[in-house]
């Protein structure tokens, strides 16, 4: 079977900017959008134009200056939001309006104060109006994963009939689990009669740490677009992380029979840029882009990796733009890694000297968390100083 091409919809500049404490200036957003275009994402959600004059300005600048991806602006399902989103994205060669309304009874009762029928009508009107302005419209049913499945299918059927090119299924509060979310995608694909006319998209939040797993389960169930952010930024616990999703598909291509257009070698530098500009530090143990993602500390692992990286690495660091893996010397490191490091530092020593130095190294490693090159150089220098002529 041919590998499907999954569309990557990046929402770092919209949902990602909803990360508590993050606020980007227009020029910083343009810089990130240019990096996302280099990364070859398919869609950049540039912001929520009605939210503030700054958001409007950033979306318009990105629409005018960033070429390649579709440029989307978010709008609630009302005329004013949609008109404002249109004014912001219209300078793009490839504008998209992304309109949304909640569909769960919890949101209908406590937030929108609308009936199911009213929401159904509003969704249809919003999509129809957006479609009169731009050729590409995405519709999201907010809180889809906590909505009644049959009602959800009615909403999507009407949205597609009104012209939606993409129907997005958000797990807005990160409530779903992979098996359940895949079942929801399958149900929608089987019960929305005009589903073939639209791309099925998913948008997963990470409240239970399952945003990437849920997105992958949705892809296996037939979703064709995933929404995600660099470094997993986003509202509360964040959104599905772009780098994890893309590298999961890349590494397990045969299992998923799906790939992306992403230029994976741009991943690390894009992650660093977003971290620097947002001020949100990437934890060292973060998959793919954390400092430790390609670092090996245990002696057994170091020995394996020095012989053949396939022993303990499922992808090459170069594939995501990191120049090499790191052998971190610490108390779990073995003689093999220690000897390699000595060679790397330019020392050619006899076996006895290496054995003596290795004993000293282990003593030091017990006291220090990490042993650096300068520690090793000091040990060698000390040894040379006491060596009898």
CB of 58 to Zn ion, least distance (A): 18
Four-residue CA torsion sign, 283, 285, 286, 290: positive
- Residue 146 or 336: the one with the smaller Cβ distance to ligand KIV is 146
Is residue 245 classed as helix, strand or coil in its secondary structure? helix
For position 45 contacting ligand KIV by CB under 6 A, the verdict is: no
> In this chain, which stretch among 13-21, 96-104, 139-147, 289-297 interacts with Zn ion, using CB under 5 A?
13-21
Q: What tokens appear for 384 in the block?
A: 């040379």
Rounded distance between C-alpha atoms, residue 315 and residue 298, angstroms: 19
For position 9 contacting ligand KIV by CB under 6 A, the verdict is: no
Q: Which of 15, 42, 136, 138 binds Zn ion (CB under 5 A)?
A: 15
Q: Which of 17, 124, 142, 244 binds ligand KIV (CB under 6 A)?
A: 142
- Residue 15 or 124: the one with the smaller Cβ distance to ligand KIV is 15
Pattern 165-204, Zn ion, x by CB under 5 A: ----------------------------------------
Reference 261, options 6, 2, 1; nearest CA is: 6
Residues that bind ligand KIV (rule: CB under 6 A) add up to a total of 9
Rounded distance between C-alpha atoms, residue 257 and residue 238, angstroms: 27
Q: Residues 228, 271: contact at Cβ < 8 Å?
A: no
List CB contacts of 30: < 8 A, sequence separation 6 or more. 58, 61, 62, 65, 66
Reference 245, options 214, 285, 291; nearest CA is: 214
CB of 214 to ligand KIV, least distance (A): 12
Q: Which of 56, 86, 100, 181 binds ligand KIV (CB under 6 A)?
A: 100
For position 17 contacting ligand KIV by CB under 6 A, the verdict is: no
Radius of gyration of the chain (CA): 25
Site residues, Zn ion (CB under 5 A): 15
The residues of the shown chain that bind ligand KIV, judged by CB under 6 A, are 15, 100, 140, 142, 168, 170, 172, 203, 205
């Amino acid at each position: 079977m041919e590998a499907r091409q999954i569309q990557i919809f990046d929402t770092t500049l919209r949902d990602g900017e909803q990360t508590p404490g993050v606020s980007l200036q227009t020029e910083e957003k343009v810089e990130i959008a240019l990096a996302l275009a280099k990364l070859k994402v398919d869609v950049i959600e540039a912001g929520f134009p009605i939210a503030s004059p700054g958001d409007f300005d950033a979306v318009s600048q990105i629409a005018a200056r960033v070429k390649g991806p579709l440029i989307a602006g978010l709008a609630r399902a009302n005329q004013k939001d949609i008109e404002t989103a249109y004014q912001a994205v219209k300078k793009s060669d490839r504008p998209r309006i992304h309109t949304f309304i909640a569909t769960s009874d919890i949101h209908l009762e406590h937030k929108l104060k609308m009936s199911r029928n009213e929401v159904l009508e509003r969704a249809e009107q919003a999509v129809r109006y957006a479609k009169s302005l731009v050729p590409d419209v995405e519709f999201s049913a907010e809180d889809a994963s906590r909505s009644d499945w049959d009602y959800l299918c009615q909403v999507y059927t009407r949205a597609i009939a009104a012209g939606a090119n993409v129907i997005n299924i958000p797990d807005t509060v990160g409530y779903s689990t992979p098996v359940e979310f895949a079942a929801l995608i399958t149900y929608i694909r089987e019960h929305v009669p005009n589903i073939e006319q639209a791309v099925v998209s998913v948008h997963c939040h990470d409240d239970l740490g399952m945003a990437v797993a849920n997105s992958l389960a949705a892809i296996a169930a037939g979703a064709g677009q995933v929404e995600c952010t660099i470094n997993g930024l986003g509202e509360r616990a964040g959104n599905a992380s772009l780098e994890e999703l893309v590298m999961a598909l890349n590494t397990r291509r045969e299992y998923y029979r799906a790939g992306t257009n992403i230029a994976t070698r741009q991943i690390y530098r894009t992650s660093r840029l977003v971290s620097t500009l947002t001020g949100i530090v990437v934890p060292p143990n973060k998959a793919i882009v954390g400092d430790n993602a390609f670092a090996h500390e245990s002696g057994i692992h170091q020995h394996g990796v020095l012989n053949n990286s396939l022993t303990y690495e499922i992808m090459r660091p170069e594939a995501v733009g990191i120049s090499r893996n790191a052998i971190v010397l610490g108390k779990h490191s073995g003689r093999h890694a220690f000897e390699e490091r000595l060679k790397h530092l330019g020392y050619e020593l006899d076996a006895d000297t290496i054995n003596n130095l290795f004993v000293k190294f282990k003593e030091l490693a017990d006291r220090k968390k990490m042993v650096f090159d300068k520690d090793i150089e000091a040990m060698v220098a000390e040894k040379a100083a006491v060596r009898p002529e």
